[in-house]
Amino acid sequence: MKIKIHPLFWVLVAITIIFGDGISLLWTFLAVFCHETGHILVARTRGYLMKSMVLMPYGAVMSGRESFDDTSSVLIGLAGPVTNLILALVTLGVWWIFPSCYLVTRPFFHANLSLAFFNLLPASPLDGARVMMGLSKNKLRALRGLKIVGIVISILFLCLFILSCFYGVNFSLVTVSIFLFYGAVMDNSAEHYVSVFSPVSKDYDLGVERRHVVVSKDMPLQRLLRFTGRNNLVTFEVLDTDVRFDEGELKDMALTHKLSTPVGEILFQKDKRK
């Protein structure tokens, strides 16, 4: 996976260091890391691998053009904010058990809440836009609308920054404004996620290992996807049968059935059609 750091991220780093808030930056970076890990783990269960990530001040920009199915788009979009909300609740629990940790972990709590609610805004390029895209029937119209909302909210944050100049300058506001405007206006055509079935998901330069995996009839398709990856090419065998299938056939099953469907049920349906 390629990880790129956008110049705006370094701007946020410089601002926090100049104003002596380096500890909060470390907690924020940890919250962002957990946020993106949530996206990656849920994407993996849905059959997608993260190909690249561009680290921005308040998360990593996700392109508006990955070929997610609608359900995956919603689940992957919600995964990051939900992860942050869970971590915020865990932090509250730690405070209840160990009150002395409050001052040290307070920035982590605030960072998680900020990331969660900010990213749930229905504006491109935030996670809320990913969720809305999954729920929308007209993708192109939805994408245009979400970009407009992103621009409007970026202008709002810029106005708040200007107002803050009269009461105590808050440079985070202008950083957020630039982040949203950049994400909404720039053409993010490069896909950051790729299907595990895509040929480009295999890392043939480093070598790909052939694997043979035996599964039961009760195993759902979603769990089968976990055996696939960049470094292996898998053939599956169903226990107590003579049925074998490769990743290409698994892809066909995943496209025509819910990922929660047991492989045995699919085989039974095939036998009935015969």
Domain positions in the chain: 2-195, 199-273
pLDDT at 65: 44
pLDDT at 87: 96
Measured distance CA(94)–CA(101) in Å, rounded: 7
Between 161 and 69, name the one with better pLDDT: 161
| Six token digits for residue 176 | 């957020």
- DSSP code at position 62: -
pLDDT at 124: 79
pLDDT per residue over 182-224, tens digit each? 777 764 544 445 555 555 466 677 778 888 889 888 888 878 8
Burial of residue 17 (number of CB atoms within 10 Å: 0-12, 13-18, 19+): exposed
Q: Which residue is listed with tokens 């229905």?
A: 122
Between 270 and 74, name the one with better pLDDT: 74
* Percent over 70 (pLDDT), the chain: 75
Measured distance CA(121)–CA(94) in Å, rounded: 28
The answer to pTM > 0.85 is no
pLDDT at 95: 94
Other Cβ atoms less than 10 A from the Cβ of 219: the count is 16
Rounded mean pLDDT of the chain? 78
**pLDDT surpassing 50 at residue 63:** no
pLDDT per residue over 217-268, tens digit each? 888 887 887 787 777 788 898 888 888 888 888 878 877 777 778 888 887 7
Q: Which residue is listed with tokens 């957020």?
A: 176
pLDDT per residue over 78-114, tens digit each? 998 999 999 999 999 999 999 988 988 998 999 899 8
Q: What is the gyration radius of the CA atoms in the chain, in angstroms? A: 22
pLDDT at 21: 64
**pLDDT surpassing 60 at residue 3:** yes
pLDDT at 190: 43
Other Cβ atoms less than 10 A from the Cβ of 2: the count is 9
Q: How far is CA 161 from CA 9, 19, 25, in A?
A: 18, 16, 20
**pLDDT surpassing 70 at residue 55:** no
